[in-house]
A and B are shown apart, each in its own frame.
Chain A
Amino acid sequence: VKHRPLAAPRFGLLILTAFVCALSVHAQQQHATFQYGDIIAGGQTPTGITAFGRFDWYLPDGMLNKRMNETLGELPQDVALDSAGNVYWPTFFTIRVLDNTGRYVKDFPRFPTFAGAISFDRAGNAYIATTGKTLLKTTSAGDLLTTFILPSEDPRFGINSIDLAADQCTMHYSTFGKRVLRYDVCRGVALPDLTSSLPGHSAVQLRLLPDGGVLVAVVHMVVRLNNTGAVVQTYDLPGEQEWTNVALNVDGYSFWATSRQNAYKFDLSTGAVLASFQSSDYWFRAITVVGGLRAAIGPPAASIPTLSEWFLLALALTLIAFALMRLKTG
């Protein structure tokens, strides 16, 4: 793949600087709507009895922006955003849909999904993995389009994580085991595993990387596989024992991973921890980043600048004009 050169680099640098300034100002403010880099995450209170579910919205630095919902006994199993910015929370019993202000919109129609994981295709259709072996394809409104029965590596276990590839056909998934399985949802046939020998305890969640590789949380660590399924990197931290979630960041060079109550932003290449934050009182069960890469959807469209961003952009343009004038006069 050819790398597209940046156009007008000096101009771009200025614009970038302005935007970074804007975003930094922006990041310190409460957000009324989802902004790129915001983290949508939820989980369950750690208890041996019925847990409380938390559905939270964090700013990019990990500061809690808003608790969108909290429930007794209904716990987030996964989270994804559609192209309109709505957030979808499979909660085993249904899929809760909230808008980009974190306001409850609706539930999916209640066919017996027992939804455990969700992934959107580029057309806005949703793939919903049940906790059994059935994968459902629905419209964005939740109307059932078709169903697939996927192979599982152990007859007792169903699907616990899915992610659709950019080709819109190859569904990568895991079934509580050592394999990253694949299924062609266009043809309805099983494909060879990406790998059958994951390290760690078992696959809990996987996310596809733009290069065809996969990040997989395998409890004892997070592993990065290349597009042939080989382990090219592992991520772990002392004292952390339950890596269960991964979410690619907007920048594409980092990702968030969670272990119980802690969320860490890792540098994808070096494994260095770039940032971290803690949940209020729960163990993370689901995480995604607004604008974060999901292979099937591709890079996000640009967001609409806020007023502060407009201000800084105007400032930058003014500076450019001033500089040009000086060049011309000077």
Chain B
Amino acid sequence: MHRGDHREPIPADEEHVGRTLFLTTLAAVLFVGTQLAVVPRGIARPAPSKGHSKILISHLLALPDASAPPPLAYEDVTVLEDYDSYTLGFIAAENVEKIKKRAAADRVGVEVHDEYDLVGLPGGTIDTRVGVVPPLGVDLPSGYPAGTYGLYVLQLIGPPKRQWLSQITAAGAVIVGPVPLNGYLVAMTPQTASSVRTLRPVQFLDLYHSFLKAAMVDRQATGKQDVLVEIAEVPDAAETIEKVTGILGEVTQRKDHGGFYLRGKMYATDLPLLLADRLVIGVHAITPLRLSDERQSMALTTNVMTSGSNLIPTNPGGYAAWLNSACSFCGNLNNEQFIVGIADTGVDTGALAHPSRHLDLQPTGRVRYGNVFLTQRDGQDICAPGEVCEDTGVCFDCDGNYHGSFVAGVVAGNAGTTKRDRTAPTTGFLLGTGVAPSAGILSTKIYSASGGQPTTFNGNDNNVFIWAADATSRNVYIQNHSNNQYAFAARGNYTQQSQEFDRAVRDSNGTGMELTPITLTVSAGNRHQDFGNPLLVPPATAKNVIAVGGAESVRDSSEWRQSFGCESGVIQTQADSFANIMADSKYGTNVQSGGQGWNTYNKPDLFAPASQIVGVRSVVIRNQFPYPGYNCFGYGGDPPADDHDYMIVTGTSFAAPVGAAGALLAGRAYSHWLGDEIPDPAAASPALRKAILVASARSMRGGLDEPADPVSPPSIEARPNAVQGFGRISLVDLVSQTPARQYVDQSPARTFTQSSQKWSATYPVSDPTKPVKIVLAWTDAPAEPGTGAVFTLLQNNLDLDVRLGHSTSCTSYAGNNLTTSTEIPTEGEQSIPYSCAAGNPDTKNNVETVIFFPDAVDVDQFTVVVNAKLIGASAIPDTNCQGSDCNEQDFALFIYNAGAPITLGTPAGVEATATSTTSVLVTWSPVTGAASYRISRRTNGGEEVVGTTTANSFPDTTASANTAYLYRVQALDPANNAGGYSSSALATTVMFTDDPLATQMTIVKAMHVDQLREAVNAVRSTALLPAATFTDSSLAGIPVKAVHIQELRTNLDAARSNLGFSGLTYTDSPLTAGTLIKTVHLTQIRDGLK
């Protein structure tokens, strides 16, 4: 190449150019030389010897900054090969240390590589310094017939050089494949072998003896086994093929993974004959795969058991029975009403060429078709010959990819094929069991078969608004989006797409005119599609969606054992526990705290099994799927062996639909709770569905956080956090009928319009032996997108505050403040109790949860308070309103293990009794649900609160003498919300002489009447009446007459009437002149003054 002067030279490359030129020429010469089998001077090829050690010598092994001076050699070292920057040689084993010291002095490194003389083969290791050692009783064959190809094991003197392999193949050998270390399986004739054996780089060559070959079959089996026999592809393989076919009977041929295979059945006794064939490389038993995803659904049920530290499914075949048992209406949904939208690559149509729709999605009417948001046919689509999948009039709706059909199967597969795990064909887990097996499906096609998506559709942005509106216009209120925005600028960020999804949850068509809410479930995204970065990708970063990450599913190692392409036990590491997060899942965001106190934005919200999921395979692609990249991790799309109804795949795409189906069942349960005669699929708001799913989730704490490091995964910390969100989805609490639960959905009556407003309600615990779980969720106003931190993610910030019991303990819980220190058995974390404090309010999430165990804190009721900490935006679009006056935020609550809310009664039996001239004792009967009581008193100066108490009596010690007071009492809940006022009780702080008056014992005196006159006027004052004037204003020396008593009665009655009291009943009424005045007459008036 031309090198201009302007170029900056790279020192090492300067050398390289000249060196390349020189070496190129030299190589040509050497090539000629090696073709003539001339061993270059100074280069040896002795046979490996036990007394020798292979060594590498190089300056680079000792000098970190060495620039590769020529390799050195020492006289004790026999040089085998110059590798340009290091030298391969051998030395007597006893001289190794000596040469190392010498080399170190020269600043040259020496490495010993005795493994260069070992060859690893399926049946054992050959130490080429010793040669092949046959098992006892086995005779080694002498060789292959002349002129026929046979398999040999060959080892080179060191790391292979290309020209060495060329020499071997030039001699007529066929390299079948490499074996460790620096070895190859080679097919050739004995004559060729003689020639190859003399090549300088070849240090070992021997027959590939049958006992060294792969023989992964059950040698004890008595029946026939399904096997693959791998055969070397050489010109005279026909004889071997014929022989193998004769043993296996009917065979199928397969070329895959670079090999040539015959598949058939054999007895274990056939094995020696097969292995003895000169061209048979190995025999592998096939354990056909048929892996159900009833397992995935089972993860959501009580059919989960502990195996060691893992959670695994149990009760195969029992999912449908479990669902029906737990929730009869959940297992028998009306598929015309309860529908999940699938915005994806289409859903299996049973296209013209394949009229039989997949059995798991039948009956036919269960799948409906919405719009196809593609503008043209996709040339890569796969359909029957002559058809194009997305060809209008042929099968434009169809799924030529697989993805959408598979997602549909996760939602609604009904095990229609009745197939089970092949390892247990009658008792194993059923294949193709979705979470809601009777649900309907609406396909909204937004991706082509090749995964393409136009940016515009009919001149509009091809975005979530037209996709979601396609669902809501068809009365479908849930739509799954197993797709993500994989781009660097999007990674972990709240992007425009996040904003659009947030908006669409409230307003699916984006017009703001007529709000049509929709629950959007979205996948968290896969690490392997994003350069290994773990951060969540949009739209999963949106607040109002339900973002679902991938947990592990569970696969038995026996299902994979000895199956082609998978090694025994490989699979468990990524599919052995529902409690683990699979390594490929994404989580966490770039959303920062913005200086606020809360630490993380908990995304994804939930997890569901997503590794090695088996599900519906679109009929359009079956038998024609051209991508045989299947591997043990469930990627690649090949079916379980020979099963074209199903395929096995991994990815968070298949976790999200678990959330969608869960949201559907949550809505159905809510509709049932409402008592609707006709179930209403639209009854539950997206916020309520989310709250229900979050409350029902199970903690993954203690499971393995595989994405953090798949080799040494740390344990998952307490939820909620940015790793596990709110845990893994479970239906157990969602579909159960007991204990009681309460739903509080969005309502104009419960909509905040400004900060500091609050709502509360008090609930009795339904079952004290079970946890109480409360989840608050709200559909927030969308935030402004950002490419990094989003400081103002929450536009409206609500706080969940739960007060316990009757407030005597002053214990409260704040949303999302969970701890593991007081763990609820089998449930995970519980809320941190705060004593008369607000806790640490969450400032970043629009989902908050409180969990407590009522028995542990000894409460039978609790009060839920929702505080509007910040109402800064309008979450409810209103085109007729602008500005901050329009700020509105509603919310939803799901309260698990709670009876109907307690309505605070009014205190009854209120009595007020003056105990001195300055003290009044107020008493009343207790009120159910009251945490405390508030006591008010009224005089002619108005009404005032004189105190609160948690007791059922209150001593008012602030009274004034000779004053009449009206006392009222209110019950308060733990949030200090007051019930109604009690009736009033009158007390007058006039102390009466001879109280009580003893009938026929006490003499009525003038002072008794004077005291009554003062008291009656006190009551009149409180009743805002003027003081009464009385006959004989001074009674000194005057006997008490009837008129005196009658005046008291009349004036008191008037006052009492003004105060709302009923009239009193008097003895001898009216009192007429001359009537004997008795103590009863005075007592009745006194009673009327209290």
Contacts and interface: CB of A to CB of B under 8 A. Distances in A.
Contacts of A313: 28
Nearest to A6: B18
A299 B85 CA distance: 9
Contacts, number: 320
A157 B529 contact: no
Contacts of A50: 403, 451, 526, 529, 649, 651, 653
A262 interface: no
A234 interface: no
A94 interface: yes
Interface of A: 1, 3-7, 12, 15-16, 19-20, 44-53, 69-75, 77, 83-86, 91-94, 99-100, 103-107, 109-110, 112-114, 116, 122-124, 130-134, 136, 139-141, 143, 147, 149, 155-158, 160, 165-170, 176, 201-202, 204, 209-212, 219, 241-242, 244, 251-253, 267-270, 281, 285, 293, 298-305, 310, 313
Interface in B170-189: 177-181
Interface stretch (B271-279, B705-713, B927-935): B705-713
A51 B529 contact: yes
A122 B67 contact: no
A132 B180 contact: no
Contacts of A241: 488-489
Interface string B3-31: 10011111111111111111111111001
A54 B945 CA distance: 79
Contact of A1 (B11, B631, B711, B712): B11
B407 to A, nearest CB: 9
B13 A72 contact: no
B452 interface: yes
Contacts of B901: none
Contacts of B708: 132, 155-156, 158
Contacts of B64: 165, 167, 169-170
Given A71-B629, A84-B162, A298-B85, A139 B403 contact: no
Give the one of A156, A202, A285, A310 with max B CB within 10 A.
A156
A224 to B, nearest CB: 10
Given A130-B710, A166-B67, A304 B533 contact: no
Contact of B527 (A45, A49, A92): A92
Contacts of B159: 83-84, 123-124, 140
B632 interface: yes
A7 B24 CA distance: 13
A110 B197 CA distance: 34
Contact of B482 (A49, A140, A212): A49
A3 B14 contact: yes
B483 interface: yes
A71 B653 CA distance: 17
Interface string B477-491: 000001111111100
Interface in B591-624: none
Give the one of B166, B531, B570, B627 with max A CB within 10 A.
B531
A84 B165 CA distance: 8
Contacts of A219: 488
A96 B533 CA distance: 21
Interface string B558-600: 0000000111001001100000000110001000000000000
A49 B451 contact: yes
Interface stretch (B54-62, B664-672, B1060-1068): B54-62
B208 interface: no
Interface stretch (B633-641, B847-855, B1070-1078): B633-641
A93 B612 CA distance: 12
A12 B24 CA distance: 11
A205 B165 CA distance: 32
B10 A209 contact: yes
A157 B533 contact: yes
Nearest to B11: A1
Contact of B11 (A140, A143, A202, A211): A211
B160 A72 contact: no
Contacts of B31: 304-305
Interface of B: 1, 3, 6-28, 31, 56, 58, 60-61, 63-68, 83-86, 111, 113, 115, 120, 159-163, 165-166, 177-181, 257-258, 344-345, 401-403, 447, 450-453, 482-489, 526-529, 531-535, 565-567, 570, 573-574, 583-584, 588, 627, 629, 631-633, 635-637, 649-651, 653, 707-713
Q: List the 7 shortest-distance A-B pairs measured between CB atoms, nearest first.
A: A71-B629, A132-B709, A252-B13, A47-B451, A210-B12, A48-B483, A167-B64
A84 B16 CA distance: 19
Contact of A49 (B67, B637, B653): B653
Contacts of B15: 1, 3-4, 299
Contacts of A104: 257-258
Contacts of A20: 1
A210 B15 CA distance: 11
B798 to A, nearest CB: 28
A160 B527 CA distance: 11
Contacts of A107: 565, 631
Contacts of B162: 84-85, 100, 301, 303-304
A219 to B, nearest CB: 5
A252 B17 contact: yes
Interface of B, secondary structure class, is loop
Nearest to A200: B488
B450 A45 contact: yes
Given A49-B653, A139-B181, 11 more contacts: A47-B451, A50-B403, A50-B649, A72-B636, A107-B631, A112-B574, A133-B712, A143-B120, A156-B535, A158-B532, A251-B17
Interface of A, secondary structure class, is loop
A93 B528 contact: yes
Nearest to A170: B64
Give the one of A5, A46, A113 with max B CB within 10 A.
A46
B400 to A, nearest CB: 12
Contacts of A302: 20, 23-24, 26-28
A165 B650 CA distance: 36
A36 to B, nearest CB: 9
Contacts of A253: 1, 3, 7, 10, 13
Contact of A73 (B17, B178, B635): B635
A16 B26 CA distance: 13
Contacts of A141: 120, 178-181
Give the one of A103, A139, A168 with max B CB within 10 A.
A168
Given A50-B653, A267-B7, A122 B344 contact: no
A72 B12 contact: no
B180 A210 contact: no
Contact of B24 (A19, A44, A73): A19
Given A94-B631, A134-B709, A267-B7, A157 B63 contact: no
Contacts of B11: 1, 3, 210-211
Given A92-B528, A114-B710, A252-B16, A270 B482 contact: no
Contact of B528 (A75, A139, A169, A270): A75
A68 B674 CA distance: 60
Contacts of A301: 23, 27, 84, 161-163
B3 A105 contact: no
Given A73-B650, A74-B636, A211-B11, A157 B24 contact: no
Contact of A140 (B14, B180, B567): B180
A77 B532 contact: yes
Contacts of B631: 74, 93-94, 107
Given A70-B627, A165-B64, A209-B10, A140 B181 contact: yes
Contact of A70 (B68, B402, B629): B629
Contact of B113 (A19, A75, A123): A123
Given A52-B627, A130-B711, A253-B7, A210 B160 contact: no
Contacts of A15: 21, 24-25
B60 A167 contact: yes
A71 B483 CA distance: 19
A5 to B, nearest CB: 7
